[in-house]
Amino acid sequence: MAVASSQRKRTPESAAIRSANVPPLHRRPAWALLDQHYQKLKRVHLRQLFADDHRRGERLTSEAAGVYLDYSKNRITDETLQLLLQLAQESGLRDRIDAMFRGDKINVSENRSVLHVALRAPRGATILHDGRNVVPDVHAVLDKMADFSARVRSGQWKGQTGKRIRNVINIGIGGSDLGPVMAYEALRHYSDRRMTFRFVSNVDGTDFAEAVRDLDPGETLFIISSKTFTTLETMTNARTAREWLLSAMKGETAAVARHFVAVSTNTKEVAKFGIDTTNMFGFWDWVGGRYSMDSAIGLSTMLAIGPDNFRAMLGGFHEMDEHFRSTPFERNLPVLIGLIGIWYNDFFGAQTVAVLPYEQYLKRFPAYLQQLTMESNGKHVTLDGMQVDYDTGPIFWGEPGTNGQHSFYQLIHQGTRLIPCDFIAFTKPLNPLGRHHDMLIANVFAQTEALAFGKTADQVKAEGTPDWLVPHRLFEGNRPSNTILLDALTPAALGKLVALYEHVVFTQGAIWQIDSFDQWGVELGKALAQRIIPELESATEPKLEHDSSTNALIRRYRKLKGAV
Ligand code: G6Q
């Protein structure tokens, strides 16, 4: 939810951030050095790098906050790392981290602070926004959420007909949906299994219809999650939900207060919708949508796993925040992952990054990361509004292992594109079943080994493969990956993992000197849809002034739906 362009202000503070003595990327000395270095390294094989240093697999690792990162299977040397760290320094990464934690308005195009780190600051901490400590406000909302969650989970909170709440439906989209869905799925192991949780985001009526078809309205609570409370999809679904409830409650409008709560920054619109604002959970304009799963937007998560687990998750986030803020860059996990990502994106020309969690509960993690990374760093101008002359955010994608191995891994192993991969795994299973977990983890290690080292023609021949088949069966290897290992998927571990990627995004945005916290790219399509809706619905033939393709599609749709 971006502010209108007329509200875009150039404040002295944001101007200072933009011109913080950081030269354009190509003029930073480390950039040219990295370019020269790339020319030397691009043909060096990981086999060689491992043969040259028998301790590489132990040396090129870092561990913090219970997260172990093995980055040795990357096409880097000590010199690469040193140059990348120099680049981070020349890019003012340290100053930008400090500026974020200080509450500076680093989201320059919206003139906003970026303070999701305050959402997980411990009680008693001080983080200032416009001179005011926001940490007590954060904890006041968390306490209110905890109180509400306890009442719903215990059955004390009753629906209109006196039944306890058994179903919770979060209605929201984008940042007000992807985090809650991902977190619910990820932490399902810890959830109250007597309750049903569903998530409705799409304006496609199927999403709502399928979510409620087997539910009793008397036992159903809707959380309308929308920072702005004006988003087309969410408000359309919220109105449909109200009709669904009221038709079961014989039009008894008092039922809305028992079955609807809101998470928003917009009290006026919440009240206008008919939700009792005492049942509204607030947050602030310094929390971006895709950085909001640990704010009140996480109410569904708290209802599912309970307040204590939710606070444990916040603890995990905070641990990673502190690591990012205070650890020297050469051991700093988000900085290392971020810089290695820059190396592939901007020197090797890699277009995508695959994120491969070997943990079924993380099945929605890649989808969540797609928004976090691509909405944040899919930018074409610098903070100063200059067109970039280098590639910014790569395409993120992925699926849980081992499923992906039986579909798209073929292309990663033998295709023509370089696809850096992040393998994520947990040493302890949440559902120990016979040998399953050893088999799962064996596959993680096997995949990274196969990608890095491949299989030479000689090895293939030695297996008795006929000559004509050898090219098909060889693996060239030299395909890079990170391995990220944690202990078990606890609420705290999830917090650490999400914060890790938030700060990877931050690191890369600082190098590229872009605004990772706005999302103007979603505006144009939204505005055009608002223009087209009445054209589709009009009882009379509308005067169409689009291009010939769009006009013809609108006419065809109207004809087929019987509008004319
Ligand atoms: C995320 C974006 C966007 C936003 C949705 C929903 O960073 O801002 O995905 O979360 O458009 O917005 P509302 O919460 O205002 O409905």
pLDDT digits (tens, 9 = 90+) for 239-267: 999 999 999 999 999 999 999 999 999 99
SS3 track for 208-262 = HHHHHCCCCHHHEEEEEECCCCCCHHHHHHHHHHHHHHHHHCCCCCCHHHHHEEE
pLDDT computed for residue 183 by the predictor: 98
Q: What percent of the chain has pLDDT over 70?
A: 96
Distance 503 CA to ligand 1 centre (A): 20
Atom of ligand 1 at shortest range from CA of 228: 15
Kindly report the average pLDDT of the chain as a whole number.
95
Q: Does the C-beta of 370 come closer than 6 Å to ligand 1?
A: no
pLDDT at 3 over 60: no
Distance 294 CA to ligand 1 centre (A): 15
Per-residue pLDDT reduced to its tens digit, 4-20: 333 444 444 554 455 46
- CA of 392: how far to CAs of 147, 209, 375, 505, in Å? 43, 39, 11, 11
Q: Does the C-beta of 375 come closer than 6 Å to ligand 1?
A: yes
pLDDT computed for residue 563 by the predictor: 72
pLDDT at 1 over 90: no
pLDDT at 30 over 70: yes
Atom of ligand 1 at shortest range from CA of 1: 8
Distance 41 CA to ligand 1 centre (A): 42
Q: Does the C-beta of 234 come closer than 6 Å to ligand 1?
A: yes
Pocket test for ligand 1, best of 109, 171, 176 (most atoms within 8 A of CB): 176
Considering only CA atoms, which of 490, 497, 117 is closest in space to residue 312?
490
Pocket test for ligand 1, best of 109, 116, 173 (most atoms within 8 A of CB): 173
- CA of 152: how far to CAs of 136, 282, 302, 437, in Å? 24, 19, 11, 35
Does the annotation mark 526 as catalytic? yes
What residues pair up with 484 in beta bridges, in sequence order?
69, 424
Catalytic residue of the set 406, 472, 543, 545: 406
Cβ(225)–Cβ(263) below 8 Å: yes
For residues 304 and 196, give the distance between their C-alpha atoms in angstroms, rounded to a whole number: 9
Q: Does the C-beta of 1 come closer than 6 Å to ligand 1?
A: yes
Q: What is the mean pLDDT of residues 345-372?
A: 98
Q: Does the C-beta of 173 come closer than 6 Å to ligand 1?
A: yes
Does the annotation mark 26 as catalytic? no
For residues 44 and 452, give the distance between their C-alpha atoms in angstroms, rounded to a whole number: 12
The end-to-end CA distance of the chain, in Å, is 35
Catalytic residue of the set 90, 233, 319, 375: 375
Q: What is the DSSP letter of 416?
A: S
Place of tokens 């000197």: 513
Q: What is the mean pLDDT of residues 366-376?
A: 98
pLDDT computed for residue 18 by the predictor: 56
Distance 172 CA to ligand 1 centre (A): 8
Distance 333 CA to ligand 1 centre (A): 28
Per-residue pLDDT reduced to its tens digit, 61-99: 999 999 999 999 999 999 999 999 999 999 999 999 999
Q: How many CB atoms lie within 10 A of CB 247?
A: 10
pLDDT computed for residue 521 by the predictor: 94
Pocket test for ligand 1, best of 227, 265, 300 (most atoms within 8 A of CB): 227
Distance 34 CA to ligand 1 centre (A): 37
Q: Does the C-beta of 422 come closer than 6 Å to ligand 1?
A: no
Distance 289 CA to ligand 1 centre (A): 5
SS3 4: coil
pLDDT at 401 over 60: yes
Pocket test for ligand 1, best of 231, 233, 266 (most atoms within 8 A of CB): 231
**Sign of the dihedral defined by the CA atoms of residues 51, 52, 58, 64, in that order:** negative
Nearest CA to ligand 1 atom 16: 226
pLDDT at 447 over 50: yes
Q: Does the C-beta of 179 come closer than 6 Å to ligand 1?
A: no
Distance 25 CA to ligand 1 centre (A): 30
Per-residue pLDDT reduced to its tens digit, 213-226: 999 999 999 999 99
Per-residue pLDDT reduced to its tens digit, 285-329: 999 999 999 999 999 999 999 999 999 999 999 999 999 999 999
Catalytic residue of the set 9, 428, 526, 561: 526
Does the annotation mark 546 as catalytic? no
Q: Does the C-beta of 321 come closer than 6 Å to ligand 1?
A: no
What residues pair up with 483 in beta bridges, in sequence order?
70, 423
